[in-house]
Amino acid sequence: MGPYCTDWLGEYGCMALAVARPQTTQQVSAVLAACHRTGVPVVPQGGNTGLVGGGVPVAAGAEVLLSLDRMTGVRSFDEDAGVLTVEAGAVLQRVDEMLRSDHGRCMPVDLGAKGSCTVGGIIATAAGGVHAVRWGSLHSSLVGVEAVLADGTVVDGLSSARKRNVGYHWPHLILGSEGTLGVVTAAALRVPPAPEARVVAMLGFADWDGLRRTVRRALGSRGLAETVSAAEYLDAASVDVAVTWGGQRDPLDERYPYTLLLEAAGASQAYCSERMEEVAQGALAAGEAITGAVSASTAQARQMWGLREGVTEALSKRGRAVKLDVSLPLERMAGPQGAVAAARGRLRDQLDPAWLSPGPRGASTLEEGCVAGGWGCDGTDVGGVLACGYGHVGDGNLHLNVSVPSACAADGRPVGAEGDTLRRPPASSSAAAPPPSLAEAAAAARDASVPFVPEWVAKEAGMRGSVSAEHGVGMSKLGYAGLSRGSGEEALMRRLKAALDPTNTLLPGRVLAARGR
Ligand code: FAD
Ligand code: 2HG
Ligand code: ZN
């Protein structure tokens, strides 16, 4: 049962009562009906790549883990409507590859976990990813859903009609419900024609305002906006982590406070290259960007994406990460007035300076450089606690991670197993206080950032932002998701939950905190 029972981050999970791996919708229904009858909670699971602890058991030996991993079939493809009907356990990347080779189409969603996450998982979490800026969130693509309610009732809303206003739109109710309202067994999705060409531009910026102006032009200019398929950013600390811990190459070869990745996707390589050159030259000429590179080959484009998509895995190799996933107006995302700077200020205030990372190479010259300190490991400086910001700048979605190191950068050898003590670098070894254990440092980093960052987002951005953007609420955001729920929204959620799952069989205690918490 092991792999099903621990989440991707290794933060949540315990043994299940049993793991059920049904192969058909009827079997899913039978498992749910049995659990409903006997009062056993059920945890649906797809690829187990979720980052909020929602898809694993949390009550030892008491919950049934319902994995969809054997339900991977394609039910149909409607060439005229461009609608694919596929089972929930199908892995995103495999479906995308099949669509490209057999139909010249592609999935409208793309994310770093594509090799493992499933169609049911992306629907349950309403996953965003890197192409939402082009094809919208899944709300624009999901046309039908087949799902099983907590008591085993099968609800068949699996139409491939792109317009079907016959009452409450059930597929969009289940979208983003994180498994708490029903188990998705199959879905009908509108899938766009796959662009044949992709060209990536990577630009380095000294200040956030420059990056914002370039993004605004790329997404707001006629002729350009419809070609742009991704607009992502990384700050210098994120680039540093991806290079040092993830083994990625930085195509710009130097650290800039902000790196912007733009992708153009369309019918011809030449057209996409021209558009990306146009953005890059425009940004350089306007004095917004300091440097830029446009991919000249698939390998170069892949390298640029590797840097961006490699951050999450690299952070996990570095150690523990407090994950914050928020929506913000761009002016409050990064830069001096942004959430990342606020988080860094808070870490400086709350933590022993000797725990904080010296930040990326050349940090002292960077607008958002970190502060001195950190740990050493066999003479190698592994840095200390750091805050890094990256994410889907085109959608106003920031991934703010507070990272606590637990491994030696030189060889990846773990030095910070839970309870181990990390050594300070020689520079701070004279400090009076004893160095903290990894567990202590991780707890202190978490306490410093949560609820500080969500409260900052709610206060500074109100309903122009959200304390939870694309990963969902699960367990890890239970304590603060309410900050971005409008008046009456949570009460409505509870009424819907009570109507569809009156015995609280599906994922009790997730998404909606138990009353009294
Ligand atoms: P799981 O992790 O198995 O489950 C997630 C939640 O959905 C749980 O609450 C579970 O109970 C529920 N669930 C799963 N399947 C079903 C089903 N069939 N019916 C009902 N409920 C179900 N997310 C983004 O939005 N954008 C990104 O760019 C992104 N990048 C990522 C990169 C990496 C490296 C990693 C590790 C994760 C990333 N994620 C991202 C988060 C994660 O991949 C997504 O949330 C994904 O949608 C989860 O899919 P899954 O199949 O792994 O679901
Ligand atoms: C991404 O966009 C993912 O890379 C993961 O949503 C973000 O790890 C994170 O914080
Ligand atoms: Zn993301």
Low-confidence ranges of the chain (pLDDT < 50): 361-381, 408-410, 413, 415-432, 517
Residue 401, ligand 2, Cβ within 6 A? yes
CA of 391 to the centre of ligand 3 (A): 6
Give tens-digit pLDDT for 285-332: 999 999 999 999 999 999 999 999 999 999 998 888 999 999 999 999
Name the packing angle between helices 452-461 and 339-350 (round to 10°).
140
Q: Are residues 60 and 118 in the same domain?
A: no
CA of 190 to the centre of ligand 1 (A): 20
Q: Are residues 324 and 446 in the same domain?
A: yes
266 DSSP β-pair partners: 197
Please, how many CA atoms are within 13 Å of residue 35, restricted to the half-sphere of its CB?
33
Provide Rg for the chain, Cα atoms: 23
Q: Is the dihedral of CA 115, 118, 119, 123 positive or negative?
A: negative
Q: Which atom of ligand 1 approaches the CA of 127 most closely? A: 25
Nearest-CA residue for atom 5 of ligand 2: 312
- In whole angstroms, give the CA distance from residue 349 to residue 307: 31
Q: Does residue 465 form part of some domain?
A: no
Residue 45, ligand 1, Cβ within 6 A? yes
Model's pTM, two decimal places? 0.94
CA 43 to chain centre: 20
Residue 129, ligand 1, Cβ within 6 A? yes
Assess contact for 384 and 308: CB atoms under 8 A. Answer: no
Assess contact for 239 and 255: CB atoms under 8 A. Answer: yes
The last residue of a domain, from among 174, 190, 206? 190
CATH of the domain at 34: 3.30.43.10
Kindly report the three-state secondary structure assignment for every residue of 104-137.
Answer: CECCCCCCCCCCCCEHHHHHHHCCCCCCHHHHCC
| Best probe residue, ligand 2, of 109, 111, 470 (max atoms within 8 Å of C-beta) | 111
Nearest residue to 74 via CA among 194, 188, 190:
188
Residue 57, ligand 1, Cβ within 6 A? no
Contact residues for 443 (Cβ-Cβ < 8 A; gap 6+): none
Q: Which atom of ligand 2 approaches the CA of 324 most closely? A: 10
Domain count, the chain: 4
Residue 117, ligand 1, Cβ within 6 A? yes
Q: Are residues 98 and 166 in the same domain?
A: yes
AA letter at 496: L
Residue 403, ligand 2, Cβ within 6 A? no
- In whole angstroms, give the CA distance from residue 75 to residue 284: 49
Q: Are residues 11 and 127 in the same domain?
A: no
- In whole angstroms, give the CA distance from residue 420 to residue 406: 9
Strands (E), 14-118: 18-20, 42-45, 64-67, 74-78, 83-87
Query: Could you tell me if residue 470 is left (phi over 0), alpha (psi between -120 and 50 degrees) or otherwise beta?
Result: alpha
Q: Does residue 88 form part of some domain?
A: yes
Assess contact for 189 and 83: CB atoms under 8 A. Answer: yes
Query: Could you tell me if residue 411 is left (phi over 0), alpha (psi between -120 and 50 degrees) or otherwise beta?
Result: alpha
330: helix, coil or strand? helix
Q: Looking at residue 350, what is its pLDDT?
A: 87
Q: Are residues 146 and 175 in the same domain?
A: yes
Q: Looking at residue 406, what is its pLDDT?
A: 72
Q: Looking at residue 437, what is its pLDDT?
A: 66
Ligand nearest to the CA of 397: 3
φ, ψ for residue 298, nearest 5 deg: -60, -40
Assess contact for 326 and 400: CB atoms under 8 A. Answer: yes
Q: Are residues 348 and 423 in the same domain?
A: yes
Ligand nearest to the CA of 72: 1
Ligand nearest to the CA of 187: 1
Q: Looking at residue 150, what is its pLDDT?
A: 98
Assess contact for 420 and 412: CB atoms under 8 A. Answer: no
CATH of the domain at 92: 3.30.465.10
Residue 233, ligand 1, Cβ within 6 A? no
402: helix, coil or strand? strand
Q: Are residues 346 and 408 in the same domain?
A: yes
Q: Are residues 60 and 29 in the same domain?
A: yes
Nearest-CA residue for atom 49 of ligand 1: 121
Give tens-digit pLDDT for 36-94: 999 999 999 999 999 999 999 999 999 999 999 999 999 999 999 999 999 999 999 99
Assess contact for 381 and 395: CB atoms under 8 A. Answer: no
Domain that holds residue 374: 316-457
